[in-house]
Structure 1
């Protein structure tokens, strides 16, 4: 009896030990060691000149990045950003520039006028590689006009409010860059302006894959921007769907006009700008206001 008992205990000990070993092994399969990530730190975008492209200013406001490591999608990030990557070795990092469309903080979109950025990094666990993304205007977009107010021949000279005292004119008093910017002055005697690109700057935008208006602005009142459709007999139809609020410092904005062009489908278009002194209970809340604009560009591809 003692011998049998000993053998049974011995058998139990061996099977128990095997069970423990198998248990530890299965735990390793279920909970493998966590991979330690490498990191890339993506700095704010820099926009540089593209020789041969008539783009004018390279001022930009690219707020986000769409990031790939080789073919693995990392996501969209607000810059600057430090991004963990569960990869090692030499990898190609591809970054697409993304903007806040129409000045809306919740509307992040690709900007087809800017080129993507690509670089190689050597990823090592716990190591941070810093990347400076650089972009430029691509060569295959069409700059329908660039108004930088330097030439002395204003593009926005179609007076639509029938007030010769309100105009968008070159000025050197508050310059974003270069020697001039555009200025609009409003007062109680001349409280409203509507001005558009002159008739020889009407544009057939049908067939364009994308249509964007970009500009720099600094303003004391709300300013509206939009398309003025021109039909086949010359009648005009203004539509101001975009705008900017008062801003005490120079700011960049990009307006996506693509959907508006597709839905309206006029033979040609002008670009319109409208603004007025604010009203409350039928009275002006300010006596005067100044609007500064620069680097107004209509871009299609």
Structure 2
């Protein structure tokens, strides 16, 4: 039989009190977050615009995080706060190279956060004022601003049956007996060499690899510089290609031409479809 003295009882009471307080320290009450849900982000001037893969979210001017779409993420803030959302892209189509697109404005809204509440947003962005589109081609007009180089034995033509947007796309075709196709802008393009962002936007689909690059003209020579090789894509895809890195790597460059080409190393015909080409800074 166990007997408790007053001293034992006092000690036991103190011990239990410390134990319960310790539990409160180890397992404090957790805040119940609110949530933001964003399924997609749209471009107001082009609802069919694709390739916007992420959202960059700021709350009260501080970056909360970068979220791949569709996204649902927690927010611990309570009450009224300001949200700023920017459209994110995969630079050069590379999943590990993500950035917000610098030529779109941000979507901004004030809202009230409550514990457990889901706020569903449908952000719409547009091109910022002052953006320079220095060359574009949508293949909807008579003629094209692309020309084949002399060594090409493939063809480029207008296509009306397989179009991403508008009336026509461009179709590059190399039969299994053809080896090379390359075309370039028929005019020179002036681009800033001051480390400001420059991008080439393009919708495409293809059953074989093709490449995109810049011809860089200095006072003494022309440099043929491929930038990226695009893998085949059975569905229309949108890509944002960084041109600024190439321009800045050649400070001697005075003017430029964009080129697009393919080498057919397969036993099948190569078909490449292009639409909505644009160089922007």
TM-score normalised by length of structure 1: 0.84
| 1:269 alignment partner in structure 2 | 256
| 1:226 alignment partner in structure 2 | 213
Give the conservation status (yes or no) of the 8 Å contact 1:64–1:99: yes
**1:77-101 deviation line (CA, Å, top 9, x unaligned):** 1111111112211222222211111
| 2:149 alignment partner in structure 1 | 160
| 1:44 alignment partner in structure 2 | 40
**1:258-286 deviation line (CA, Å, top 9, x unaligned):** 1111112211110011102224xxxxx11
Task: Name which of 170, 181, 184 aligns with 1:182.
Answer: 170
Question: How many residue pairs are counted as aligned between the two chains?
Answer: 278
> Any stretches of 5+ residues in structure 1 without a counterpart?
1-7, 50-55, 280-284
Pairwise CA distance, 1:127: 1.5
> 2:277 & 2:65 partners in 1: Cα distance?
31
| 1:252 alignment partner in structure 2 | 238
Q: Are 1:170 and 2:151 matched, yes or no?
A: no
| 2:129 alignment partner in structure 1 | 139
Give the conservation status (yes or no) of the 8 Å contact 1:167–1:195: no
| 1:3 alignment partner in structure 2 | none
CA RMSD across the alignment: 2.4
| 2:275 alignment partner in structure 1 | 294
Give the conservation status (yes or no) of the 8 Å contact 2:154–2:175: no
> 1:156 & 1:179 partners in 2: Cα distance?
18
Pairwise CA distance, 1:11: 5.4
Q: Are 1:20 and 2:16 matched, yes or no?
A: yes
| 2:91 alignment partner in structure 1 | 101
Secondary structure (helix, strand or coil) at the match of 1:93 reads: strand
> 1:214 & 1:80 partners in 2: Cα distance?
22
Q: Are 1:31 and 2:27 matched, yes or no?
A: yes
Secondary structure (helix, strand or coil) at the match of 2:21 reads: helix
> 1:247 & 1:30 partners in 2: Cα distance?
53
> Any stretches of 5+ residues in structure 2 without a counterpart?
none
Matches within 5 A, 1:207-218: 207=194, 209-218=196-205
> 2:193 & 2:102 partners in 1: Cα distance?
17
Give the conservation status (yes or no) of the 8 Å contact 1:223–1:243: yes
Find the structure with the greater CA-based Rg. Answer: 1
